[in-house]
Amino acid sequence: MNKIECEVLGLSTSPAGSGAFVLLLKEVDGERKLPIIIGHFEAQSMAYVIENIRLNDQTLTTF
């Protein structure tokens, strides 16, 4: 079985409205997408990591 490198495309609430969340992965070298249903605590942890990475990638300026 070959491994396929993926990146996080997004994180959102589930359209079913059941309190679940959807983690959407996308192939790095392709177009396929994989939705994964996760719970509240997992989504909260993933959101923290995603936002922390985005904050660290921004240029910070001091006055």
Question: pTM for this one?
Answer: 0.71
Separation CA 21–CA 57 (nearest Å): 25
Q: In the prediction, which pLDDT does 54 show?
A: 60
Separation CA 28–CA 53 (nearest Å): 18
Torsion of CA 6, 50, 48, 25, to 10 degrees: -30
CA distance readout (Å), 17 to 3, 6, 14: 32, 26, 6
Q: In the prediction, which pLDDT does 9 show?
A: 92
- 8-56 pLDDT, tens digit per residue, is 999 998 776 678 999 999 999 999 999 999 999 999 888 888 887 665 6
Confidence of residue 61 (pLDDT cuts 50, 70, 90): low
